[in-house]
């Protein structure tokens, strides 16, 4: 019996590995190996036109102590990342609205969600035109209402460019946040609200004491996804502003692209990528800690 049991376990293990193997192979080939190669490259001097040679920490030294653009891009990335809660708050309000018993709520849900499946490049082009100073809708409305004398050059202004890009990013993510939050709202047992209402709790009291605490895991999920999305908002920024004016909207991800493919500095781009990766892992680790260390875990009962 014991032998058969051990044989069964082996067979099961073999089955699991067989099923996992294709995914693991792809993960290894397209994620782990490039990551390792990137790590090695960050310590080398290499371009497609010259052989690699080891230069130790030179790229990191340059990045940390001699490259103002890196720090500007890092700062912009952190601001971009910190903007995620704005979208979540708006999405929560919308989710509460379309969760209420109002006529046509399914239509509203669909309309709000529509922004998310759109291609990011299309979103960027739409918003670039929306912000345009000559034909943009926002300037047209602002001028029609006499809110401004001259058109605001949203994407050409050092002050407005980053908020404008953040606004476009927030708009695109709203639908996604809303659907996630809506699911969270609908998983809250109705009896809790009913009991609280019988006890005389006001709507706002119920929101703060029941809805919000029970939504915490969902809000957290939105927050993590929002932050990760901010890290990788390459296409939106690249199409809307290209990182400009100056470096006003330069993110680490756009800077890495420019270093690699405009300046052919793949070695230095690799060093910035390693930093970017460490930052990403750190943020995820902190987020996981805050969530009680079991984010994404599945309970097997």
Partner 1 sequence: MKRRALLKGSLAGAAALAMPYIARAQSGQKLSFLTWNIADQEKLFKEEFADFQKTHPGVEIEWLDKKGPDLPAFYQTQLVAGTAPDVVDLQGALWVEYAAGGALLDLSPYLAKEPEVAKLYNADYLASWRYDGKTYMLPFYIAKTLLFYNKAMFKEAGLEAPPASFDEILSFAQRMAKGEKTGFMTLNFDWLYWPLFKMNGVDLLTADMKKPAFNTPQAAEVLGKLAASTDKGAINKISWTGRWVEPNGAFAGNTVGMFHAHSSAYFFVKGQGAWINPDTLGITQLPGYWATPTNHGFGISKSSKNPDLAWAFIKHLTSNKWATEFALRRKLVTGTIVADQQSLETIGKEDPLGRAVLQTQLEHTDKFTGNWPLPFDAELKDAFYPEIQNAVLGRKTAAAALGDAERAVERVLRRHA
Residues that bind partner 1 (CB under 8 A): 47-50, 66, 68-69, 134, 150-151, 153, 155-158, 242, 244-247, 258, 261-265
From CA 171, how far away is CA 158, in angstroms rounded?
21
Instruction: For the CB of residue 245, give the shortest distance to partner 1 in the complex, in Å.
Output: 5
Of 49 and 300, which CB lies nearer to partner 1 in the complex structure? 49
Peptide bond into 113 cis (omega under 30): no
19: helix, coil or strand?
helix
Of 72 and 172, which CB lies nearer to partner 1 in the complex structure? 72
Instruction: For the CB of residue 259, give the shortest distance to partner 1 in the complex, in Å.
Output: 9
Of 206 and 265, which CB lies nearer to partner 1 in the complex structure? 265
Instruction: For the CB of residue 28, give the shortest distance to partner 1 in the complex, in Å.
Output: 21
Inter-CA distances, 63 with 52, 109, 190, 265, 268, Å: 19, 45, 54, 13, 8
Instruction: For the CB of residue 169, give the shortest distance to partner 1 in the complex, in Å.
Output: 20
From CA 116, how far away is CA 171, in angstroms rounded?
8
User: Is 237 exposed, middle or buried, given 0-12, 13-18 or 19+ CB atoms closer than 10 A?
Assistant: buried
Instruction: For the CB of residue 66, give the shortest distance to partner 1 in the complex, in Å.
Output: 6
Of 246 and 292, which CB lies nearer to partner 1 in the complex structure? 246
Of 53 and 134, which CB lies nearer to partner 1 in the complex structure? 134
Chain centroid to CA 106:
26
């Amino acid at each position: 019996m014991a032998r058969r049991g051990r044989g069964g376990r082996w067979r099961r293990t073999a089955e699991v590995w067989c099923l996992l193997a294709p995914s693991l192979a792809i993960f290894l080939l397209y994620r782990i190996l490039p990551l390792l190669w990137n790590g090695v490259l960050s310590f080398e001097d290499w371009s497609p036109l010259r052989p690699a040679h080891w230069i130790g920490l030179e790229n990191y030294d340059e990045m940390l102590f001699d490259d103002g653009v890196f720090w500007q891009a890092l700062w912009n990335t952190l601001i971009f990342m910190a903007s995620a809660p704005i979208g979540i708050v708006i999405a929560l309000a919308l989710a509460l609205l379309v969760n209420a018993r109002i006529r046509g709520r399914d239509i509203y849900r669909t309309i709000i969600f529509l922004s998310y499946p759109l291609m990011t490049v299309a979103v960027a082009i739409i918003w670039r035109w929306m912000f345009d100073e000559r034909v943009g809708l926002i300037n047209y409305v602002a001028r029609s209402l006499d809110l401004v004398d001259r058109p605001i050059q949203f994407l050409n202004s050092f002050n407005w460019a980053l908020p404008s890009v953040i606004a476009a990013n927030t708009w695109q993510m709203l639908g996604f946040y809303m659907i996630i939050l809506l699911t969270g709202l609908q998983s809250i047992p109705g009896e809790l609200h009913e009991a609280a209402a019988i006890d005389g709790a006001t709507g706002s009291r119920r929101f703060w004491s029941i809805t919000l605490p029970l939504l915490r895991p969902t809000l957290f999920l939105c927050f993590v996804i929002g932050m990760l999305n901010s890290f990788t908002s390459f296409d939106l920024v690249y199409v809307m502003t290209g990182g400009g004016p100056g470096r006003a909207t330069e993110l680490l991800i756009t800077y890495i692209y420019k270093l690699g493919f405009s300046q052919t500095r793949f070695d230095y781009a690799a060093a910035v990528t390693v930093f970017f990766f460490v930052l990403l892992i750190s943020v995820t680790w902190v987020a996981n800690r805050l969530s009680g260390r079991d984010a994404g875990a599945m309970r097997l009962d």
